[in-house]
Amino acid sequence: MPRLGKSQSRDTLETAQTIALQGLAFLAEEPGRLQRFAAVTGLDLAELRDRADAPDLLAAVLEHLAGDESLLLVFAASRGIAPESVAPAIAVLRAGAR
């Protein structure tokens, strides 16, 4: 497998972050969705806001969406992204959180 150059890996990370931020915005569009995510993660809304750009939080957002197929499909359709793009984004964000 070819190694990604710095520019390619930065683009990949930026794409993963963009997908995850879209996921967070999607959750925030409905208070029940965001409250469920907060309850699952144990974070309060202030912590979510303060850590919104942290790779581990962004990965958790996508993992939360991926853990519920119907939620994932609604999210993907609402943002015009392929549902299968979420798993690679999680991997990139998890690698960036190390």
pTM for the structure as a whole: 0.87
Q: Does the pLDDT value for residue 33 go beyond 60? A: yes
pLDDT digits 0-9 by tens, 1-16: 344 545 447 779 999 9
pLDDT digits 0-9 by tens, 44-53: 989 999 999 9
> Taking all residues of the chain, what is their mean pLDDT, rounded to a whole number?
90
Confirm if 59 and 97 have CB atoms less than 8 A apart. yes
Exposure class string for 66-96: b at 16+ Cβ within 10 A, else e: beeeebbeebbeeeebeeeebeebbebbbeb
User: Distance between CA 47 and CA 72 in Å, rounded?
Assistant: 23
Domain ranges of the chain: 6-96
Backbone angles phi, psi at 15, to 5 degrees: -65, -45
Tokens 């390619």 belong to: 8
